[in-house]
Amino acid sequence: MRRLGLRKLTVPAVLALSLLAGGCGGGASKEEFEVDMVAARYRVDDALNQVTDSSSVDDLVARLRIAAAEVRSAATDVAEADAPNGLAEEERELATTLRAFSEEIISTVATLEELEGVAAETRGLDFDGWTATQARLAELRKAGIDVPALERH
């Protein structure tokens, strides 16, 4: 009878331990996750900032390509980060938004290349992906992750 009592205590304990170790949530702390999100945010911001230093249309197109690659790489970094419990959906949303932003930049490059004269007359670029990324970063801030908004460049 004593053995039966141990089994009753052991099964719930084993189940609880397997849930904790098995990945029903992430293993990272909120602080570790914040470091990863802030690093990705700065990577995106730096990529966008370098576009503003372009000196010609060809340089602009080249810098936009670099920015697109950096934003996509930041999306990968976000997707590979270990999100703590309750933040996995925000992590997925930010990674998806950054991938879409990267694609939007690539589409802009294609348009600028197709319409050669338009690039020289362009006074600024506006990306929906930038706005969407801002919204995702704001959601992370609401969830307690201290990640700054992107700068305007």
Is the overall model pTM greater than 0.85, yes or no?
no
Let me know: does 81 contact 36? Beta carbons within 8 Å.
yes
Handedness of CA 32, 38, 44, 50 (dihedral sign): negative
Domain positions in the chain are: 27-142
Residues 6+ apart with CB under 8 A from 93: 136, 139
Q: What is the Cα Rg of the chain in Å?
A: 22
Specify the 3-state DSSP secondary structure of 32.
helix
Tens digit of each residue's pLDDT, the chain (153 residues): 444 444 444 444 433 333 333 334 557 899 999 999 999 999 999 999 999 999 988 999 999 999 999 999 999 999 999 999 899 999 999 999 999 999 999 999 999 888 877 666 777 788 999 999 999 999 999 999 999 999 998
